[in-house]
A and B are shown apart, each in its own frame.
Chain A
Amino acid sequence: MTPTTDSTEHPNEQPAPLLQASGISKRFAGLMALADVSIQVGAGETVAVIGPNGAGKSTLFNCLSGVLRADRGTVTFDGQRLESLGPTQRSRLGIARTFQRIELFGGMTVRDHLMVAERARSGRGGLWSDLFRSSKPTEEEYARCQAVLDLLGLDDVEDRSADSLSLGKGRLVELGRALMCEPRLLFLDEPSSGLDRNETEEMSLALETVQREHGTAVVLIEHDVPMVQRLATRIYVLDYGSLIASGNTMDVLEDEVVRAAYLGVAT
């Protein structure tokens, strides 16, 4: 049995999905990293993308967040076509992400990471206010920062330089930085890799809270099956750049082919 495609699975649940990517293809020299991949994400929904190493999951994220230009395919976010937009513009529309190989700003404290993201989002502060006004955070910015720090349990390390933190804390900082952008759609590339049980738990809790309170849609690349089961309602399975299965989490995870081929190691 192959899980059916989600369009039949969820007929009229979301009238217009928040993100609709169709026919995405990406080739690196001779390697077809993505071949005609289509996914859609509804507002406030959590979906997971799984697949073995080198399947093209991160490449898919890069194409959707604008880091890479897809060779073919269309991406629509909230009714707007994204193909011609760069990562910066996509971020301003409300798409945020984290990275598989963690990307922090060297030498900046945890709080600075959040503050930089806050300023980038709000557009406050610039050369003029640097020179002639105070570049100190306002009460409101401070409060927003504090809320995210509390949510992620980062308040005890807020003044530490981010590159001196453990990988787990580092991933939380990345998540916090993404959350400061008030995203409507969040891409998380293997958020639990390198984290211990407690940290994974913390991460899952934080994600659940974010979703409950802000209705953020989340796309998750994840090898940790319990976490996927807990958070995701639907799953896409990639292999060798192609979508080989998709559907409800339970259906896909119980699918014999998928289990045997791709989840044997993880479960």
Chain B
Amino acid sequence: MVDLLEYAVRGIPTGCVFALLAVGLVLTYKTSGVFNLAFAAQAYTSAAVFYVLRKEQEWPLFWSAFIAIVIVGPALGLLLERVLFRHLRGAGSLAKMVTSLGLLIAIPEVVKLFFGSDAKSNPPPLWYVRRTDEWLWPQGSKFVLDAGQVTTIVSTLVVVVGLTVLFRYTNLGLRMRAVVESPRLAELNGVNAERVSMASWMLSSMMAGLAGVLVAPLFASLNPIDLFTLLVAALAATVVGGLSSIPLTFFGAIGLGMLQAVLAGSLPTNSVLATGLRPGLPFLVLFALLIFRPGLRSNSETADPLATVDPPLPVPVAVSRPRWMSISSRTVGVVATIFGLLVSWFLLDGFWLAIVISGVVLAVIMLSLTVVTGIGGMLSLAQAALAAIGAFTTAQVVTATGLPVLVAMLIGAAVAAACGALLAIPVVRLDGVYLALATLAFALMFESILVPLSWVSGGSVPLAVPRPVIGPWDLADDRYFLLFAALCLTVIALAVIRVRQGTTGRFLQAIQSSPTAANSIGISGGRSRIIAFTLAAGIAGFGGGLLASFAGRANYQASFPYVVGLVWVALVISAGARSIQAAVFSGIMFFLLPATLNRVFSWPENYLEAHQQAPEWMQNLLGLVQPNWALPVSFILFGIGAFTYAKHPEGIIEARTNSSVTALLRWTERRKAKVDASSSVDAPQVSA
């Protein structure tokens, strides 16, 4: 009992770290309605600035911290508000979340472009003593805190008390709340919504900076992914507070920290539970809270009484096209596919062929997002995990039973579908943002608890997956594999089209555009959504198996980490969640863009090597360009793509197609009208 208490107290500093992140997130949500996944990226920015100033430039502690937290933090917040979120105030919370997802992907890469993408190891602490050397309080007792922990606790308390006072007792707090309830109504009451929104973004961004600088030393090196994972862990606390109460969020975070410490202390070390559950616990708690906390569904969208003044975004639906047009666009698609295959077959060398194959295989996984997000209307952030389940199952089945790879892949798809169904049953009841968070929690649970287990992933060495051999064709030859992958993609794409146009797709469309009306004719939202989720999981699982077979191994770290899944989502959503072309496009782009950019950015280096006598200014200018910009720049582009979602929820490709279809239709109509007019001029003459 005493031990438990001691462990619990030890968890308080961790709890404070969670609290700092969680409270910052709640602040953004309360004041702007944005569920800001990019909070981690903002934290990373300040931490990186602090790192560079303090460690690389060796500035004094105070000024480094001042610049990083008080200048850079709010400036970034202001920038984001002015450039992006100001325009999104009337948008749905899902659109805002997707935008923040884009930022989460893009901002750290921009920072890396500025400060170099080398590993920034041993981030400096925000205090003078080193964190393990000098025990501060209470000397010799069982409860020991170091300077870092004391700093964290004190900052957290200051922030929590300060914010609570701000919201409860100050004019600014009151106005902030009014703006979230209804920006229009607040403006009619003389509140300057713009100014309030700017203030709240600067404040929350400063908090992100403080959190980033404070928690960075907890990790061996400064890395946006670690910060984001920590943020998701802290999300459980925000859910405790119902995304609105700052004190409740604080206590939730402390409780989470304590629970984690107690588990760490009381579970037998080295057991599966201890190694898996401890890091996975926050995600487990987050998942459970999302599912069981009552009342989350009803208050998820703030109901703006003047919402109709800013009409909501249209539901993404395709402009209905005349038959000839869909036939001709289908013909173009088929011709383009065949052309692409021929080019790949005859012209591409091994490197580019591998890129194209990876893209085609990833397109299969992207189609799973088409089903779940485009057709089903659910933002699932767990498709990478489901693909990994397919890959692991394929590998395990092949290893254990020696069945043909193709059969193993199908079993992998089935297992992934089953897992998807199990996940869907509790999750589909949740609304937009909460559903996304629950799937994210699932992805992280999978990554932290299940992936380390050897019966899942095969342990630390990825399991081998051979290439299929089909009759006389050994797919070890990449060109045969490409044909096979393209065939799989085509079959699945046709199936997706059938589902989209069939009863299932129609039901899901009905549910998305009017849930009450759909219910009133007997369409159950839950059932249709579970079906869509399960189907998508199966497709993802198959794609995962295919990817593993192509790569030769079911390698989680290389192919399926949850952050990679987030990039996939951003990419496919911005290209067009409902359309097949968009899925194929984004699958291929994910690999093709970085590879192409790498070639482009390598060009100056190669040029200079070939032209040693080039003028100096040219050498300086071209010398700036680095080949390793390729990856950051691609991810920045992918992230920026996600910003378009709020404006074009149907996706860039779809928006393009729709506008050209509309233009074409108008043109044909005008032509027809002209023909009609001339014939009707003729008509009376004939009758007369």
A residues neighboring B (CB under 8 Å): 65-67, 86-88, 91-92, 96-97, 99, 103-109, 112, 115-117, 119-121, 124-127, 129-131, 135, 161, 174, 177-178, 180-181
Contact = CB atoms under 8 A, between A and B. Distances in A.
B510 A116 contact: yes
Contact of B503 (A87, A96, A129, A174): A129
B420 to A, nearest CB: 13
Interface of B: 314-315, 317-318, 320, 495, 498-499, 501-507, 509-510, 513-514, 516-524, 531, 535
Contacts of A180: 521
B522 A181 contact: yes
A99 B516 contact: yes
Nearest to B523: A120
A121 B522 contact: yes
A99 B519 CA distance: 12
13 contacts: A87-B516, A103-B517, A104-B513, A104-B514, A106-B513, A108-B513, A119-B506, A125-B503, A130-B504, A131-B499, A135-B501, A177-B517, A181-B521
A181 B317 CA distance: 25
A96 B521 contact: yes
B15 to A, nearest CB: 35
Contacts of B531: 126-127
B200 to A, nearest CB: 27
Nearest to A174: B517
A131 B495 contact: yes
A107 B522 contact: no
A115 B506 contact: yes
A266 B495 CA distance: 55
B538 to A, nearest CB: 11
Contact of B320 (A88, A99, A107, A174): A107
B523 A116 contact: yes
A252 to B, nearest CB: 28
Nearest to B506: A116
A106 B498 contact: no
A86 B525 CA distance: 12
A130 B498 contact: yes
A235 B504 CA distance: 41
A129 to B, nearest CB: 7
A104 B517 contact: yes
A143 B524 CA distance: 25
Given A91-B520, A99-B520, A108-B513, 16 more contacts: A67-B516, A87-B516, A91-B521, A92-B522, A96-B521, A103-B514, A105-B509, A116-B506, A117-B522, A120-B522, A121-B521, A125-B502, A127-B531, A130-B503, A177-B517, A178-B520
Contacts of B499: 127, 130-131
A88 B523 contact: yes
Closest 4 CB pairs of A and B: A107-B317, A130-B502, A125-B503, A135-B502
Most chain A CB within a 10 A radius of its CB, from B320, B505, B521: B521
A105 B516 CA distance: 11
A112 B508 CA distance: 13
A108 B506 contact: yes
Contacts of B506: 108, 112, 115-116, 119
Q: Of residues A87, A117, A124, A130, which shows the largest number of chain B Cβ atoms within 10 Å of its Cβ?
A: A130
A119 B509 contact: no
A124 B509 CA distance: 17
B223 to A, nearest CB: 42
B507 A88 contact: no
Nearest to A107: B317
Contacts of B517: 99, 103-105, 174, 177
Contacts of B320: 107, 109, 161
B516 A126 contact: no
Contacts of A121: 521-522
Contacts of B516: 67, 87, 99, 103
B507 A120 contact: yes
A120 B518 CA distance: 9
Most central of B502, B507, B518 by chain A CB within 10 Å: B502
B314 to A, nearest CB: 7
A124 B504 CA distance: 11
A218 B93 CA distance: 39
Nearest to B518: A105
B315 A65 contact: no
Contacts of A131: 495, 498-499, 502
A158 to B, nearest CB: 13
Nearest to B318: A107
A177 B523 CA distance: 12
Nearest to A161: B320
A3 B531 CA distance: 53
B503 A107 contact: no
B503 A88 contact: no
A180 B498 CA distance: 24
Contacts of B524: 88
Nearest to A177: B521
Contacts of B520: 65, 67, 87, 91, 96-97, 99, 103, 178
Contacts of B519: 66-67, 86-88, 91
A177 B521 CA distance: 8
Nearest to B505: A130
Given A67-B516, A119-B503, A127-B535, A108 B521 contact: no
A161 B509 CA distance: 14
B314 A106 contact: yes
A88 B522 contact: yes
A101 to B, nearest CB: 10
Contacts of B504: 125-127, 130
B486 to A, nearest CB: 20
Nearest to B519: A87
A107 B513 contact: yes
